[in-house]
Structure 1
Amino acid sequence: MKKDIHPNVNDTLIRCNCGYEATLLTTKGKELSVEICSNCHPFYTGKQRFVDTAGRIDRFRKKYGNLADAKK
């Protein structure tokens, strides 16, 4: 194997906004923050929850809300 071409692998503490913490081996650094993890993601939990931090759903409904009525 060639020398000095492989990235450094660190033990990284990953923190989610829901409070979950895990330690994994990554090349990203010592600490990493994520918004959604497997403990709070609707696909894994089975609970429907809209994660809309920037108002994207409201903007979409405002822009295209009348479009569904127009096609009928």
Structure 2
Amino acid sequence: MKKGVHPEYHPVVFRDANTGDEFLTRSTATSSSTVEWSDGETYPLIVVEISSKSHPFWTGRARVLDREGRVERFRRKYADLGRNAG
């Protein structure tokens, strides 16, 4: 990689605002707030609104709004159009 072209890629702690869960990863994101991690090091802290720990899809709390299925509803809606064509 060319020097001075890419943003700095460094360790960052992300905290889920809903659950308080934290995880350490690498990112180009920066923050003025910091947190001390379990390894004794201090890392930038970024608070996110939602993560896999609180998102309904990943937690299994997602609601199924379409039980019938989009394909079946489409077929039923347009079933007669194929017979009347031509």
Per the normalisation by structure 1, the TM-score is 0.59
Give the Å deviation of 1:46.
1.1
Q: Secondary structure at the match of 1:32?
A: strand
Give the Å deviation of 1:14.
0.4
Question: What stretches of structure 1 move > 6 A for 4+ residues in a row?
Answer: none
Say which of 42, 58, 61 aligns to 1:44: 58
Matched ranges for 1:18-37 at <5 A: 18-29=19-30, 30-37=44-51
Q: For residues 40 and 3 of structure 1, what CA distance do their matches in structure 2 show? A: 38
Match of 2:9 in 1: 9
Q: How many aligned positions are there?
A: 49
Cα RMSD between the aligned structures?
1.6
Give the Å deviation of 1:40.
1.1
In proportion to residue count, which structure has more helix?
Answer: 1
Q: Match of 1:24, as an amino acid?
A: T
